[in-house]
């Protein structure tokens, strides 16, 4: 027994040493020393709480017994005493009010709720000057951020300055030791709360963790719960990576005004020197924008290209503004010195940058979007001079409010102008020239008719006109082409829902049949394919009139889509959904190529299943089968579980190669994540992604954690095997510790 106790003490001692380091960091970041008066005034962006009710506010008393001495002008309330004065609420066993001196003394289970939401509990409290000033003995103050201050004595003067003696400060309410003491607390000989500048100042303070003193500071301060933002150092971050060595970052937040600020984020690395970074944020009346930028002069440039340079950096800016309640505009753009800088220094993990300026309008069912776009690939295989600029890219959808011929009439418009330095052939059916301008206008009409027998019949018709101006298109007989086409579509959608209700819930079986006819595509060799490269035929697109993802391609010919939808809604809220079907190409030119599943007269079979027997368990599966051999061409499966103690998900995807549609290789991956929460606050978690086609781990993570009302801890290992030139694969062990209301810190080591 004695040996076990010794081991536990050593374990606690090692943990306390670690916590001492983190606590010291957090307390220093919170403000190791009280700031000078000028700094406090500069950061005073929050108005002091109103301590005195307006003139004429009456004092209301509810009590079991009330006596009043007219000579001494002293009133005594005993029993269950409740006093309200403006937004103040006072509860006590006995209250003595001295009317001459405007002084009130409360005794016995005193509880005072202040206008700001703080709650004072004490044995004895005295209030005067209309609740502005007073003192309390053996008190506990419950702050609005769920922190608690206890003190032997407290005195308030001037309505906004409170001094506490022999104080403890903690956030712990349920996270307690065996003896009932909090997991962590700060003991201070003296605490001064200045509600004018919303700061709490501690003097002669000791940080205790697990009942053991681990850190001492002569002075430190932190904002009170009313402060949302204030200038000062943020929580430091420490890390180690094989790419840049040991790194330390101590951000500084400068609150320049209530609506704009700047955060400096310097990161000092042992191998490459300092990386300087700053983020500017500005909120205006109609919206906000931000600018984030940084750079480094690398000490070691013996890296794989493009990392073999001294100066590297980036800038990113984003904004979003409202013109009125229907219209908004903004931008999002990133510039980087080279392809790998953002990933090497863990700034941004994206492998492709999309820069855009946009204008958006939404009103009821009408929509307009106008954008200017530019793309940049960041992987070694990307050829950026084939990436386009799209200026402009405009889409508009309008639906008329009034019915036309008993149905719904709408209009769609799409305009873009694309430019690139070099033409490219992505596949035999996807060529892209150096310039292409496209204008499309489409009118579409549909009417929903329900027969007496319950059948839902929806005739539909659309008429679309396209104009393309193309230059230097691979495979085209001309360098410059102007191509126009008129594309009508007519069809009929027939659905007959069959409903059955019983003791196990409601079932709806709906056979679906569609007949769609359009002229065959023509002149495709003279039109670039910019927005219809990718194609995924599955149960969700079975009953679409045009299964291309964009408008450069158009599904032509006469085809029939047939299948069914099945929905079983359980009485406990669960459900089962099944869909199945196939497309038959009856006449005309088939618009699809090999790999689509639609290139033959009978398409592949598609099916989808969603099964949720209980609210915490769900299963999904969808697949595409060869219509002759029933071989699986693509399939995706997933299962998820979400209970109070256990959360998990597992997904699998197996998709055949389709070179004609931007997928040159077969994809087969499995990925998942799980977390188990023990009743004592501890948890274990992990996740992974594995590429079965390439037989390699893509990324994985595993760790343990602890979380309670005042403290959070995580220790985990993560690995990413994605490598691209000097942005090499990364492995790291990371630890994060958070003392709630004080802050959090992250320590890491990569290898």
One DSSP character per residue, 52-111 reads SPPTTPPEEEE-SEEEEETTTTEEEEEEEEEEEETTEEEEEEEEEEETTTTEEEEEEEEE
Name the band, by pLDDT with cuts 50, 70 and 90, for residue 24.
low
Question: What pLDDT is attached to residue 16?
Answer: 54
Instruction: Quote the pLDDT of residue 18.
Output: 54
- Find out whether 446 and 459 touch, Cβ atoms under 8 Å: yes
What pLDDT does residue 25 have?
52
Band of residue 104 on the pLDDT scale cut at 50, 70, 90:
very high
What does the block give as tokens for 657? 């190669």
- 295 alpha carbon, distance to own chain's centre: 27
CA distance 684 to 714: 9
Domain with CATH 2.60.450.10 in the chain: 59-129
Q: What contacts 24+ positions apart, CB below 8 Å, involve 9-14? A: 12/210, 12/212, 13/212
What's the pLDDT at 52?
66
pLDDT at 2 over 60: no
pLDDT band at 17 (very low <50, low <70, confident <90, very high): low
Rg (CA), the chain: 34
Instruction: Specify the CATH number for 59-129; select among 1.10.760.10, 2.30.30.100, 3.10.20.30, 2.60.450.10.
Output: 2.60.450.10
The whole-angstrom separation of Cα 183 and Cα 179 is 10
Lowest-confidence pick of 192-201, 232-241, 336-345 = 232-241
CB 585 within 8 A of CB 557: yes
The DSSP output letter for 663 is B
pLDDT tens sequence across 234-246? 878 888 887 788 8
Tens digits of per-residue pLDDT, 361-396?
999 999 999 999 999 999 998 889 999 999 999 999
| Per-residue pLDDT at 115 exceeds 90 | no
pLDDT single digits (tens) 456-473: 999 999 999 999 999 999
Residue percentage of the chain with pLDDT more than 70: 92
Let me know: does 731 contact 718? Beta carbons within 8 Å: yes
Per-residue pLDDT at 741: 81
Is residue 313 within 8 Å of 294, Cβ to Cβ?
yes
pLDDT tens digit sequence for 668-699: 999 999 999 998 899 999 999 999 999 999 99
Residues near 390 by Cβ (< 8 Å), separated by ≥ 6?
Answer: 371, 372, 373, 374, 416, 417, 418, 530
First to last CA, the chain: 40
Among 310, 312, 311, 350, residue whose Cα is nearest residue 333: 350
pTM attached to this predicted model: 0.84
Torsion angles phi and psi, residue 282, rounded to 5: -145, 120
Query: Is pLDDT above 80 for 35?
Result: no
Q: What is the pLDDT of residue 402?
A: 93
Instruction: Provide CB contacts within 8 A for 694, sequence distance 6+.
Output: none
Lowest mean per-residue pLDDT among 286-300, 520-534, 543-557, 605-619: 520-534
- The pLDDT score that the predictor gives to residue 34 is 34
Q: Could you tell me the pLDDT band of residue 440, with boundaries at 50, 70 and 90?
A: very high
Q: Give the pLDDT of residue 594.
A: 92
6's CB contacts (< 8 A; 6+ apart) are: none
Residue 750: predicted pLDDT: 57
Mean confidence (pLDDT) of the chain: 89
CA distance 356 to 316: 12
How far apart, in whole angstroms, are the C-alpha atoms of residue 698 and residue 603?
A: 34
Question: Residue 196's pLDDT is what?
Answer: 86
Of these ranges, 55-64, 244-253, 729-738, the one predicted with the greatest mean pLDDT is 244-253
Q: Which residue has the higher pLDDT, 495 or 195?
A: 495
Q: Read off the pLDDT of each residue in 15-19 and give the average, rounded to a whole number.
A: 54
Distance of CA 498 to the CA centre of its chain: 41
Element (H, E) at 40: helix 37-42
């Amino acid at each position: 027994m004695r040996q076990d106790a010794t081991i536990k003490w050593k374990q606690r001692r090692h943990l306390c040493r670690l916590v001492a380091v983190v606590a010291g960091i957090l307390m220093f970041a919170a403000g190791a020393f009280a700031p000078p008066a000028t700094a406090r005034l500069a950061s005073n962006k929050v108005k002091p709480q109103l301590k005195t009710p307006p003139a004429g506010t009456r004092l209301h008393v509810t009590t079991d017994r009330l006596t009043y001495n007219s000579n001494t002008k002293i009133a005594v309330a005993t029993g269950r005493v409740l006093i309200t004065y403006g937004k103040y609420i006072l509860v006590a066993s006995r209250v003595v009010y001295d009317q001459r001196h405007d002084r009130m003394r409360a005794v016995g289970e005193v509880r005072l709720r202040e206008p700001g939401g703080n709650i004072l509990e004490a044995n004895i409290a005295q209030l005067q000057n209309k609740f502005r000033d007073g003192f309390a003995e053996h008190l506990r103050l419950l702050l609005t951020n769920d922190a608690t201050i206890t003190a032997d004595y407290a005195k308030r003067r001037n309505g906004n300055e409170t001094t506490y003696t022999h104080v403890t400060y903690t956030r712990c309410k349920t996270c307690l030791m065996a003896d009932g003491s909090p997991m962590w607390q700060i003991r201070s000989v003296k605490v001064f709360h200045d509600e004018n500048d919303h700061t709490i100042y501690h003097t002669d303070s000791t940080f205790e963790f697990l009942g053991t003193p681990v850190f001492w500071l002569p002075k430190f301060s932190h904002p009170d719960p009313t402060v949302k933002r204030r200038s000062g150092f943020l929580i430091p971050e420490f890390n180690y990576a094989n790419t840049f060595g040991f790194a330390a970052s101590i951000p500084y937040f400068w609150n320049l005004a209530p609506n704009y600020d700047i955060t400096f984020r310097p990161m000092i690395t042992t191998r490459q020197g300092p990386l300087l970074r700053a983020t500017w944020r500005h909120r205006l009346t109609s919206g906000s924008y931000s600018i984030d930028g940084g750079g480094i002069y690398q000490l070691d440039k013996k890296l794989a290209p493009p990392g073999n340079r001294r100066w590297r950096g980036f800038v990113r800016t984003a904004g979003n503004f409202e013109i009125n309640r229907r219209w908004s505009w903004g931008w999002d753009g990133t510039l980087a010195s080279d392809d790998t800088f953002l990933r090497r220094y863990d700034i941004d993990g994206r492998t492709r940058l999309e820069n855009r300026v946009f204008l958006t309008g939404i009103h009821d069912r009408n929509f307009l979007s106008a954008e200017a776009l530019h793309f940049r690939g960041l992987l070694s295989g990307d050829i950026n001079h084939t990436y386009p600029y799209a200026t402009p890219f405009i889409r508009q959808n309008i639906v008329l409010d009034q019915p036309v011929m008993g149905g719904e009439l709408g209009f769609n418009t799409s305009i873009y102008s694309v430019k690139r330095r070099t033409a490219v052939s992505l596949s035999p059916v996807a060529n892209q020239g150096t310039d292409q301008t496209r204008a499309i206008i489409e009118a579409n009409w549909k009417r929903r008719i329900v027969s007496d027998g319950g059948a839902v019949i929806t005739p539909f018709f659309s008429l679309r006109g396209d104009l393309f101006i193309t230059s230097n298109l691979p495979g085209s007989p001309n360098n410059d082409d102007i191509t126009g086409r008129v594309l009508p579509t007519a069809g009929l959608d027939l659905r007959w829902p069959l409903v059955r209700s019983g003791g196990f819930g409601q079932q709806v079986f709906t056979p679906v049949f569609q007949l769609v006819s359009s002229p065959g595509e023509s002149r495709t060799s003279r039109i670039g394919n910019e927005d219809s490269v990718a194609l995924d035929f599955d149960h969700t697109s079975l009953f679409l009139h045009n299964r291309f993802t964009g408008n450069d391609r158009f599904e032509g010919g006469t085809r029939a889509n047939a299948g069914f939808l099945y929905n079983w809604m359980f009485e406990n809220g669960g459900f089962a959904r099944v869909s199945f079907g196939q497309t038959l190409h009856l006449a005309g030119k088939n618009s699809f190529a090999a790999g689509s599943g639609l290139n033959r007269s009978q398409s592949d079979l598609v099916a989808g299943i969603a099964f949720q027997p209980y609210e915490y368990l769900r299963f999904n599966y969808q697949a595409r089968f060869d219509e002759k051999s029933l071989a699986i061409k693509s399939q995706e499966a997933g299962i998820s579980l979400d209970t109070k103690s256990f959360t998990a998900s597992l997904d699998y995807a197996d998709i055949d190669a389709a070179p004609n549609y931007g997928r040159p290789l077969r994809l087969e991956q499995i990925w998942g994540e799980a977390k188990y929460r023990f009743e004592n606050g501890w948890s274990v978690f992990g996740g992974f992604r594995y590429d079965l086609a390439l037989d390699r781990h893509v990324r994985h993570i595993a760790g343990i954690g602890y979380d309670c009302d005042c403290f959070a801890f995580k220790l985990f290992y993560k690995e990413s095997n994605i490598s691209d030139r000097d942005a090499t694969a990364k492995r790291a062990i990371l630890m994060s510790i958070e003392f709630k209301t004080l802050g959090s810190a992250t320590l890491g080591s990569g290898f």
